[in-house]
Amino acid sequence: MKWVEISTDNCPVQRALAVVGEKWSLLLLRDAAYGVTRFDDFRRHVGLSEAVLTDRLRKLVAAGVLETVPYREPGHRTRHEYRLTRKGWDLWPVLMALRQWGETYAGEPDGSVVHLTHRTCGTPVKVVVECPEEHLALAPSDVSARPGPASRRST
Amino acid sequence: MKWVEISTDNCPVQRALAVVGEKWSLLLLRDAAYGVTRFDDFRRHVGLSEAVLTDRLRKLVAAGVLETVPYREPGHRTRHEYRLTRKGWDLWPVLMALRQWGETYAGEPDGSVVHLTHRTCGTPVKVVVECPEEHLALAPSDVSARPGPASRRST
Q: B68-73 — which CB contacts under 8 Å span 24+ positions?
A: B69/B37
Three-state secondary-structure class, residue A98? helix
**Average pLDDT for B106-113:** 91
CA proximity to A51, closest of A62, A39, A41, A65: A39
Q: Which residues of B touch A45 (CB under 8 A)?
A: 3-4, 8, 154
**Taking a contact as any Cβ pair under 8 Å apart, which residues of chain B between 92 and 151 contact chain A?**
92-108, 110-121, 123-138, 140-151
> What would you measure as the largest C-alpha separation in chain B, in angstroms?
64
C-beta separation of B117 from B123 below 8 A: yes
Alpha carbon A113 to its chain centroid, in Å, reads: 18
CA distances from A27 to A21, A94, A97, A116, B153 (A): 11, 11, 13, 17, 18
Q: Concatenated DSSP letters for A64-128? A: TSEEEEEE--TTS--EEEEEE-HHHHTTHHHHHHHHHHHHHHH-BTTB-SEEEEETTT-PBPEEE
Determine the distance in angstroms separating the CA of A121 from the nearest CA of chain B, rounded to an integer: 9
Count of CB pairs separated by less than 8 Å, A with B: 323
Task: Show the CA angle centred on residue A63, arms to residues A60 and A67, nearest 5°.
Answer: 60
**Taking a contact as any Cβ pair under 8 Å apart, which residues of chain A between 6 and 45 contact chain B?**
6, 8, 10-23, 26-27, 30-31, 33-36, 41, 44-45
pLDDT for A137 beyond 90: yes
pTM: 0.96
**Average pLDDT for B79-105:** 97
**Taking a contact as any Cβ pair under 8 Å apart, which residues of chain A between 57 and 76 contact chain B?**
none
The per-residue pLDDT for B23 is: 81
The per-residue pLDDT for A138 is: 97
Mean pLDDT score across all residues of chain A: 95
Query: Do B10 and A132 count as a contact with CB atoms less than 8 A apart?
Result: no
Instruction: Give the helix/strand (H/E) hosting B143.
Output: strand B143-147
Q: pLDDT (tens digit, 9 = 90+) per residue, B32-67?
A: 999 999 999 999 999 999 999 999 999 999 999 999
Instruction: Give the helix/strand (H/E) hosting B145.
Output: strand B143-147
Q: Which residues of A touch B98 (CB under 8 A)?
A: 12-13, 16-17, 20, 94
Three-state secondary-structure class, residue A120? coil
**Average pLDDT for A75-91:** 96
The per-residue pLDDT for A22 is: 86
CA proximity to B4, closest of B143, B148, B147: B147
Query: Do B140 and A99 count as a contact with CB atoms less than 8 A apart?
Result: no
Q: pLDDT (tens digit, 9 = 90+) per residue, A8-49?
A: 999 999 999 999 998 899 999 999 999 999 999 999 999 999
B interface mutation test: which of A118, A142, A151 has the most B CBs within 10 A?
A: A118
Provide, rounded to the nearest whole percent, the portion of chain A with pLDDT above 70: 100
Query: Do A13 and B151 count as a contact with CB atoms less than 8 A apart?
Result: no
The per-residue pLDDT for B10 is: 93
Mean pLDDT score across all residues of chain B: 95
pLDDT for B85 beyond 90: yes
Query: Do A125 and B134 count as a contact with CB atoms less than 8 A apart?
Result: no
Q: pLDDT (tens digit, 9 = 90+) per residue, B127-153?
A: 999 999 988 999 999 999 999 999 999
* Contact partners, residue A106, CB within 8 Å, separation at least 6: B12, B15, B16, B18, B19
Q: Which residues of B touch A44 (CB under 8 A)?
A: 4, 154
Size of chain B in residues: 155
Confidence of residue B154 (pLDDT cuts 50, 70, 90): confident
Confidence of residue A123 (pLDDT cuts 50, 70, 90): very high
The per-residue pLDDT for A15 is: 95
The per-residue pLDDT for B146 is: 93
pLDDT for B100 beyond 90: yes
For A101, which of B94, B111, B120 is closest by C-beta distance? B94
ipTM comes to 0.96
